[in-house]
Structures are given as structure tokens and as C-alpha cells.
Amino acid sequence: MTLVKKGTFAERLRQSADDVWEAIFAHPFVQGIKDGTLPMERFMYYMKQDYVYLIEYAKLFAIGAVKANDLTTMGWFASHLDGTLNREMDLHRQYCAEIGVSREELEKEQAAPSNLAYTHYMLSAAQQGSIADVMACLLPCAWSYYEIGMRLKEAVGDLEGHPYRAWIEMYSSEGFDVMVEESLQFMNAFADGKNEEELQRLENHFIITSKFEFMFWDMSYYGHEWPV
Ligand SMILES: Cc1ncc(C[n+]2csc(CCO)c2C)c(N)n1
């Protein structure tokens, strides 16, 4: 299940945020997806917020492509920019179409405070930093979803008739593990040769974006909106 190799920088990152990740796995929103008990109305709120999140998140792949030092890396970021916009977001468009929420309505969704803070933190760190900063911010998003997807699929077993089947299948699908594994390899390569101060900055990005992942689940479950 774990893709991380011992002694790598990625392992250091994973360990440094382990308590945050455990809180994510135990969160009632994630547990509710697993049991199928999460109210569909909360799930749809999450999907709409996630849709506008992904538009901003996808820009990190674009920044990564600009900051890449070779064509293989540039191509990897470009292909995931395409994948996010045209495949992952299709899942959201499909769920929304099923309950009568149009594409236009999805695009008009206003980001809630935690959502806006999360994407702005990543975009600022990515723009100011190197490709290593871009990857440290991107990683918790893809990697934590991979671990959630694997845990949920294992716990649920047969997904037939499960209300969140498409969601669980997307994040536990083959191909997604490849994406995460490649991200870890890039992270280790980008961290190579960096001094301790730089590594700590990357670790800090990883911990903060992991905490934002928790906040995204929390916001989706409790509906933390703008106070006025
Ligand atoms: C808040 C939030 N965090 C993580 C993901 C998952 N995710 C976003 S982009 C990507 C990689 C490939 O497109 C993955 C796995 C999400 N949807 N929403």
C-alpha cells in the first residue's frame, strides 16, 4: 500500500505529517464516504468546492511546467494539467449533471475561506519558489487521496451499489498509484543536494498543505462559510 521508499526525503515528509494524515483518515467526512452515510447534500457541497479548487490546483502543474529544467519533467507536469482539467474534473461534472447542477453553475461557485486560503498558499509558494516548492505543495493532495482511496476500497470491498462508488474508484484506480509514485520520485530528485534550511522549507510546505487538506474535509462536513 505504501509507495514510499525507506530513507528518502519523501519518507521524511510522510512521517512529519503523519498525525495530520491520521486525523484526515479518521475525519467524519472521509468515514462517511466509506460507510455511505455521508449526506449527499454535504458531498455535493464538497464536489462544487472541489471543482473550483481544482481549477487553481491545476495552475500548479502549469507553474511546474514553466519551472521544469528538462522536457521529461515539463511533459509530466503538462500531462497532469490536462489530466486534472479533463479527467478528474469530469468526475465532478458527471456527479453534478446527475443531480441537475450545470457546468456553468459549477464554475460560478465561490471558494469558501479554507479553500481560498489553501489554493492561494500553494500558488504563492509555487510562484516564489523552485520546482521543489511546487512539488512539496502538490504532494499531500495527490498522495493523501491515494491513501484514502486505498483504505476505503479495502474497507468497503464490493463497491456494487455504493453511493460513492465512482469517487472511491477514481482514487483507488490503477494509474493513480503511478502518478503518486512518479511524484515521489520527482520530489526526491528535486530535494537532492538541497541544504537543511531548504529541506525544512519544503517540509513546512508539505505539513501546511496537509493541514489544509484536513481543513478542506472539515469545511465540507461542517460548511464553514464566510461569516458575512
Ligand atoms: C481538496 C482536494 N485535495 C486533493 C484532491 C485530489 N487531487 C486533486 S488533483 C490530483 C492529481 C491528479 O489530477 C488529485 C489526486 C482533490 N480533488 N481535492
For residue 24, the CA-to-ligand 1 centroid distance in Å is 14
Ligand 1 pocket: which of 56, 57, 169, 210 to mutate (most atoms within 8 A of CB): 57
Which of the following is catalytic: 109, 141, 147, 203?
141
Ligand 1 atom showing the smallest separation from residue 171 Cα: 15
Domain 9-222 matching CATH 1.20.910.10: the answer reads: yes
Calculate the alpha carbon distances from 102 to 17, 173, 177 in Å: 37, 26, 31
Smallest Cα–Cα separation from 117: which of 1, 224, 36, 5?
224
For residue 180, the CA-to-ligand 1 centroid distance in Å is 11
Ligand 1 atom showing the smallest separation from residue 212 Cα: 1
Contact at 8 Å (CB) between 17 and 206? yes
39-92: pLDDT as tens digits: 999 999 999 999 999 999 999 999 999 999 999 999 999 999 999 999 889 888
Q: Is 22 a catalytic residue?
A: no
pTM: 0.96
For residue 143, the CA-to-ligand 1 centroid distance in Å is 9
Calculate the alpha carbon distances from 111 to 21, 54, 118, 178, 200 in Å: 23, 11, 10, 30, 30
Confidence label for 1 from pLDDT (cuts 50, 70 and 90): low
Ligand 1 atom showing the smallest separation from residue 49 Cα: 1
Task: Give the angle subtended at the CA of 54 by the CAs of 50 and 59, to the nearest 5°.
Answer: 160
Is the pLDDT at 217 greater than 90? The verdict is yes
Give residue 12's pLDDT: 98
87-136: pLDDT as tens digits: 889 888 988 888 788 888 888 899 999 999 999 999 999 999 999 999 99
Domain boundaries, the chain: 9-222
134-166: pLDDT as tens digits: 999 999 999 999 999 999 999 999 999 999 999
Is the pLDDT at 175 greater than 90? The verdict is no
Ligand 1 atom showing the smallest separation from residue 144 Cα: 4
Q: Whose CA is nearest to atom 14 of ligand 1?
A: 142
Cα dihedral value 194, 121, 6, 149, nearest 10:
-160
Give CA–CA dist 215/115, Å, rounded.
Answer: 8
Give residue 95's pLDDT: 83
Which of the following is catalytic: 88, 109, 203, 213?
213
Q: Is 141 a catalytic residue?
A: yes
Q: Which amino acid is at 133?
A: D
